[in-house]
Amino acid sequence: MAITRDLDEITALRVMPKTIEATCYNHVRLALSRLGNPLRVDIPDHRGLDIILSDQHWLCVDNFRGDQPIMAWLDFDTCKHNTGLHEPVTCQLRLYHMHAGLIMGSALDALHQALQKQLAEYSVKH
């Protein structure tokens, strides 16, 4: 699984700061604690893309191309988040594919929706 890759060994085309809404970050943390860590999530409406979630990073991969990295969110600054779960979380976004910038926002939205569905299904079963 691509989660074992050392992202520092992969050259990013672009690195930028990113802010993740608290609701999205909180859903990921909840999913990791309830559904498994690491957790691989198929991204609806983004054919062939998965996001592999872990405590250290969220790695978007192209599963049609052997889990080629597309982008990754990492270095989450949770200092403010520890004092308020409603606070957005800043992180670093690394783009590994020349078209990653076109989907970076919609991929997170789709991840958030997919996790809402999975967590709701989990709640019904437990």
Q: Nearest Cα to 119, choosing from 39, 34, 26, 36?
A: 34
Token digits for 85? 């779960």
* 79: pLDDT strictly greater than 50: yes
Mean predicted confidence (pLDDT) in 40-48: 87
* 4: pLDDT strictly greater than 50: no
* 36: pLDDT strictly greater than 80: yes
* 2: pLDDT strictly greater than 60: no
Distance CA 69, CA 87 (A): 28
- pTM, to two decimals: 0.89
> What is the reported pLDDT for 84?
76
How confident is the model over 89-116, as pLDDT tens digits?
Answer: 999 999 999 999 889 889 999 999 999 9
